[in-house]
Structures are given as structure tokens and as C-alpha cells.
Amino acid sequence: MTGQPLPLIHIGGTPREMGLDFGKARRESILHMVANVKTFLGQTYGQIRLTWPEAILQAHKYLPFAQELTPRYVEELRAMAEGADVAFDDLMVLNCLEAITTDALHLLGCTTFVATEERTAEGRVLIGHNEDWLPADESDVFLIHAEPEGEPAFLAMTYGALLPNIGFNAAGICQCCDSVYPSDVRIGVPRIFVSRAVLAAQTISGAITAALAPHRAAGYNHTLVHTSGEAYNVEVSARHFSLMYAQGGILAHTNHYLSRRMSRLENDAQHLIGSRVRYFRAMRLLRRTHRHNRETLRGILSDHVNHPNSICSHEVLDENPLDQQKTVCSLIIDLNEREMHAAWGVPCENEYFTYRLSA
Ligand SMILES: [Zn+2]
């Protein structure tokens, strides 16, 4: 597991072919994630009050919106269920989890930052991302090399049965997503379907437009970067958005809204102090040099200031299950080389292995 290279699957073709191959290749970890989320809802029933049948009922409310606006990815998910021989309803719950738990998964982190050619050695465009999630799913993380019919090939990271959304494509578009907590949520297209569609973008404006899909249920912060060094944070909620452009070749985001306009939508700003600390720390470390490279990015991703709620996030065993999280995967993306360097688990202890988009 950790310390090892992440598993990599190759899929391609129509949405149905992609989903079937995904489901067959990853059946075990799909079942594992379904079981983990059932356990999680059981442990947190006192706070979230959601049984599994109720979770399915809730997820079904989002389905017509996903079906109408992102039919291709609903088809992918249906085929994934078929390939893994699991119920589609169960996979729908996993892919709507943030929405149906009314965002009670409040402290789930993730840190993303960018250094463009002005700030890197050899003029590279580099992106760092720590994926912070439920520790029980760490074993379910893997990478996907995909060649979808009619869309750019992509290399992405995901886990369990989640549609992939973090990675980059052959058009030179990279996306990393960080959870944010808007109060204007509604029944609509779940965030994961919206962000899956962004991975198919051919241009940076196409990627931004895809992140702002009509009738979206809520939103992430989408850090969107093009090989040319164009880099944005696109802060999204159900009804609003804000674009922030990289200044001086650097950009970072964690789990609170940075723009004043969007931060007004946060109900629980005081729950997001740890996110603010990670954001300022990442920005300070980014400003330290104009010669960033994979090693300096690894240093930032492994940073322990404010431990255990540091950029490199470690599990705290005695906490409420709602507050438990850790870095389950760490990525350094070199957009010029079309390479992803991925460490399984916390980056302070685990080696990065290199994967390349070959299409
Ligand atoms: Zn660490």
C-alpha cells in the first residue's frame, strides 16, 4: 500500500466502455469504499441522521440534474456499477456524498498551489496538491490513464468509486479541486459530475465555463492551469463564482473562500481557521524562491507547521469521525512534461513515483 506506487488503470473508448473497465479493474476498492461510507454514516448518525436507504433517496433527487446536464458521466457511472457488479444507487450515494450529508464533512481539507514559469527553475508550470480525505479510504486511491472517445486523453487521481476530477489532460489543462462550504446549496448537478466534465475541456475558458455548469448543486474551488502558465482559482457556489488570477507566478487554495464576495456565503467561517493557516503557510513558502522545482514543491507538500492540521495532514485517532482526515495522496504535476508524480499517503513518509500521459 503506502510507500508503493499507486495502482494505475488504463481505460478508454465510449463512456460505457470506460465505466465497465473502471468497474472491473477496481471492484475491490469500490466495494471497500461503499462499506466505509456505510460505516461512516452509522458512526455519525447522531450528527448527520442519515441511514443508507435515506442516503439513496437523497442521492436520487440529484440524478435528474446530472442526467440532463452531464449524461455522459452518468452513463460512465452506470457502467462502472455494472462492471463492478454493485448497485448504481450505492455509487450515486458516494458521488453525491458531500451534498447529501449537507456538507457535514466539514473539516475535510486539501491544499493546492501553483508555481508558473516566472517562479520555477527551467520555466516549468508546476502544480502541487495534497488530497485530504477519510483515512479509511487511503487504500482505495489509484490513478487513471484515460483515452475517452471524443475528448482529450487525461491522467487523473481518484479513489473508490468516485468519478475522476483531479489531474490534467492532453489539451494541457490541469484541474485540482478543494472543498469549500457555500450556504446557497440546492438540489442540482453534484460537484463531482461538474468537475468530471472540466477534465474534458480543450481551453482554459472552456474549463472555467464547465466549472460554472448551470443548475449545479454547490461548488468547489477549481484551480485551473494551462501549460502556457495561465492559472486561476475559480471559486464556485451553487449560484455565484469568483475568478482569481495567479499573481507573480504563484497561486494557492485550501478550503475557505478567498474572495470577499464568496466568503459572505460561508456560514461557519470559524470552522475554517485551519484552512486559513494552511493557505498563508503555502503562500509564504511559495514566495521563498523564484526557482521552484519538484523538490521545493515536495517540501511545501510535506510541511508540518500547525500539525496535525498542517499542509501534510496526519490522522488524529481519538477525534470525532466527522473531523478525521489525513493526506491520502500527494501530487506534483509538471504540465510541460505531461507528468504526474504521486505519493501514496502522507508525502513526508512516502516516495513519489512518476506517471506520464502518453496519448
Ligand atoms: Zn507529514
Q: DSSP letters along 30-99, please?
A: HHHHHHHHHHHHHHTHHHH---HHHHHHHHHHHHHHHHHH-HHHHHHHHHHHHHHT--HHHHHHHHTHHH
The mean per-residue pLDDT over the stretch 2-19 comes to 94
Cα–Cα distance measured from residue 3 to residue 288, given in angstroms and rounded to the nearest whole number: 29
Decide: 327 and 346 in contact? Cβ < 8 Å.
Answer: yes
Question: Could you tell me which residues come within 8 angstroms of residue 170 by beta carbon, excluding any fewer than 6 positions away?
Answer: 152, 153, 154, 338, 357, 359
Distance 331 CA to ligand 1 centre (A): 14
Cell numbers found for residue 77: 457511472
pLDDT of residue 102: 72
Distance 305 CA to ligand 1 centre (A): 10
Distance 309 CA to ligand 1 centre (A): 10
pLDDT of residue 104: 64
The topology (CATH level 3) of 111-356 is Penicillin V Acylase; Chain A (3.60.60)
Distance 147 CA to ligand 1 centre (A): 34
pLDDT of residue 319: 67
Is the pLDDT reported for residue 24 higher than 90? yes
Distance 315 CA to ligand 1 centre (A): 10
Distance 86 CA to ligand 1 centre (A): 35
Is the pLDDT reported for residue 46 higher than 90? no
pLDDT of residue 230: 98
The mean per-residue pLDDT over the stretch 323-345 comes to 94
Distance 185 CA to ligand 1 centre (A): 33
Distance 56 CA to ligand 1 centre (A): 36
Distance 129 CA to ligand 1 centre (A): 14
Is the pLDDT reported for residue 75 higher than 60? yes
pLDDT of residue 44: 86
The separation between the first and the last C-alpha atoms of the chain, rounded to the nearest angstrom, is 27
- Per-residue pLDDT of 146-176, as tens digits, reads 999 999 999 999 999 999 999 999 999 999 9
Question: Could you tell me which residues come within 8 angstroms of residue 200 by beta carbon, excluding any fewer than 6 positions away?
Answer: 148, 151, 152, 154, 169, 210
Position 318 confidence tier, pLDDT thresholds 50, 70, 90: low
Using a cut of 0.85, tell me whether the model's pTM lies above it.
yes
Position 316 confidence tier, pLDDT thresholds 50, 70, 90: confident
Distance 112 CA to ligand 1 centre (A): 16
Q: Would you kindly state where each structural domain of the chain is located, as residue ranges?
A: 8-100, 111-356
Distance 345 CA to ligand 1 centre (A): 9
Highest mean pLDDT among 74-78, 95-99, 136-140: 74-78
Is the pLDDT reported for residue 26 higher than 90? yes
Position 48 confidence tier, pLDDT thresholds 50, 70, 90: confident
Q: Where are the alpha helices (DSSP H) in the chain?
A: 15-25, 27-43, 45-48, 52-69, 71-84, 88-95, 97-100, 191-198, 204-211, 260-263, 273-286, 294-301
Cell numbers found for residue 34: 461503499
Position 103 confidence tier, pLDDT thresholds 50, 70, 90: low
- Per-residue pLDDT of 106-128, as tens digits, reads 656 799 999 999 999 999 999 99
pLDDT of residue 73: 98
Distance 220 CA to ligand 1 centre (A): 25
Between these two residues, 16 and 46, which has the higher pLDDT value? Answer: 16
Is the pLDDT reported for residue 277 higher than 90? yes
CA 162 to chain centre: 10
pLDDT cut 90: percent of the chain above it: 86
Question: Could you tell me which residues come within 8 angstroms of residue 239 by beta carbon, excluding any fewer than 6 positions away?
Answer: 184, 186
The mean per-residue pLDDT over the stretch 22-51 comes to 93
pLDDT of residue 66: 98
Distance 351 CA to ligand 1 centre (A): 12
Distance 133 CA to ligand 1 centre (A): 14
Query: Where does residue 308 fall: left (phi above 0), alpha (psi -120 to 50 degrees), or beta otherwise?
Result: alpha
